[in-house]
């Protein structure tokens, strides 16, 4: 168990199995010292934890719920990184996070939603988890996921 693995355990979290791609690609690619992680949706045990657009209207996924789902996406991304590099202590920086939020056009709280992912990266990796980020509200996401998070990380050789 490495330092980062210990921190994940202290946070009461468990790394999931890597989410198998829905299609013809891989969960992550190591390119030199950078890991590109595929867009992660909030799969838990092979099933989406929720579906639908995020917004304030009845029947939509609430911003609070979506914030939790973004953390699930981030955890899935960390599992994808670990599956590729073996030891999470090799992560030198979470460089860039892009958070796509399936949004009712009237919903503009994407930053609060994607914070669910950003905060998890900081909790798990400390200062090394602080990243550049874009948050975007989109029309729809794969399988009806409310949130999708992709990541670029820098790892030690």
Binding site for a second copy (CB under 8 A): 21-29, 31-34, 36-39, 51, 53, 93, 95-98, 100, 102-112, 114-115, 118-119, 122, 130-145, 148, 150, 152, 154
- What minimum distance in Å lies between the beta carbon of 1 and a second copy? 26
- What minimum distance in Å lies between the beta carbon of 15 and a second copy? 18
Place of tokens 């670029």: 152
Q: What is the C-alpha separation between 62 and 53, in angstroms, rounded?
A: 9
- What minimum distance in Å lies between the beta carbon of 12 and a second copy? 19
Q: Which is nearer to a second copy, 33 or 87 (CB)?
A: 33
Burial of 5 (C-beta count, 10 Å sphere; 0-12/13-18/19+): middle
Closest by Cα among 20, 138, 124 to 78: 124
Q: Which is nearer to a second copy, 1 or 96 (CB)?
A: 96
> 91 has which bridge partners?
155
- What minimum distance in Å lies between the beta carbon of 2 and a second copy? 22
> Does residue 97 contact residue 117 with C-beta atoms inside 8 Å?
yes
Q: Which is nearer to a second copy, 88 or 97 (CB)?
A: 97
């Amino acid at each position: 168990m490495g330092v980062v693995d210990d921190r994940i355990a202290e946070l009461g979290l468990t790394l999931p199995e890597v989410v198998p791609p829905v299609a013809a690609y891989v969960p992550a690619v190591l390119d030199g010292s950078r890991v590109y992680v595929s867009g992660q949706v909030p799969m838990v045990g092979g099933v989406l934890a929720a579906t639908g657009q995020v917004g304030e209207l009845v029947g939509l996924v609430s911003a609070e719920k979506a914030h939790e789902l973004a953390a699930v996406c981030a955890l899935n991304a960390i599992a994808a990184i670990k599956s590729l590099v073996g030891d999470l202590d090799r992560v030198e920086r979470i460089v860039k996070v892009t958070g796509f939020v399936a949004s009712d056009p009237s919903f503009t709280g994407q930053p609060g939603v994607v914070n669910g992912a950003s905060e998890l990266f900081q909790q798990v990796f400390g200062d090394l988890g602080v990243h550049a980020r874009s948050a975007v509200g989109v029309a729809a996401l794969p399988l009806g996921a409310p949130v999708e998070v992709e990541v670029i990380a820098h790892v030690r050789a």
